[in-house]
Chains A and B, each alone.
Chain A
């Protein structure tokens, strides 16, 4: 199983709403990532979790709150977002431990978010 799943596929929310994005993988990967991708642009790293602990936070606004409840699951909680936060949110995972293998990331299909 080399699949990373993300739900929902699409999400429309108002600026006062609270919603969550979910990501799941069963490859035994212990590193998980959130990226934001605007149309026709490369992915921008937001957060990295390693062994369920937050390892990297790329100065993301606090209206985005990540959570890694277990080794297979990664959530992104959204609150009071702005229209400019509309984007494709990608989750990825990778191995941790063996250098030369950990750097390859496996991506989910993404959640397309529209903030009104």
Chain B
């Protein structure tokens, strides 16, 4: 069965500190990997994606993610967290050329001033 796991329901970090939100996946083939962010009462916003090539992907708002094929992980990172980064983050996978996206359960990020 294909799945995406976000092992942490919640991540707490102080403003200015680095943050990591974890994601592991179990899918066949070569999937495309995504991070989306959702602010309260809003839709999802695309942050970044990994298709192929460099394992370190840079995205919006200073976020980046590292694809690790051997560990089947795609962790989201930011060197210095902002209070405004507090939101719900979803990791997702889609098959090449496909429409169907599998979302992880989501991780709520709290950044404290």
Q: Which residues does A use to contact B, with CB under 8 Å?
A: 4, 6, 31, 33, 40-43, 45, 48, 50, 55-56, 90, 92, 94, 99-100, 102-110, 112
A43: B residues at CB distance < 8 A: 44, 90, 103
B104: A residues at CB distance < 8 A: 42
Interface residues of B in 1-52 (CB under 8 A from A): 32, 34, 36, 41-46, 49, 51-52
A45: B residues at CB distance < 8 A: 100-101
State whether B101 touches A105 (Cβ < 8 A): yes
Q: Which residues does B use to contact A, with CB under 8 Å?
A: 32, 34, 36, 41-46, 49, 51-52, 88, 90, 94, 96-101, 103-106, 108
Per the bound structure, the CA–CA distance linking A1 and B43 in Å amounts to 16
A to B CB contacts below 8 Å, 21 in the list: A31-B99, A40-B88, A42-B103, A43-B103, A45-B100, A45-B101, A48-B100, A55-B99, A56-B99, A90-B43, A94-B99, A100-B51, A100-B52, A103-B34, A103-B49, A103-B97, A104-B49, A105-B44, A108-B43, A110-B41, A110-B43
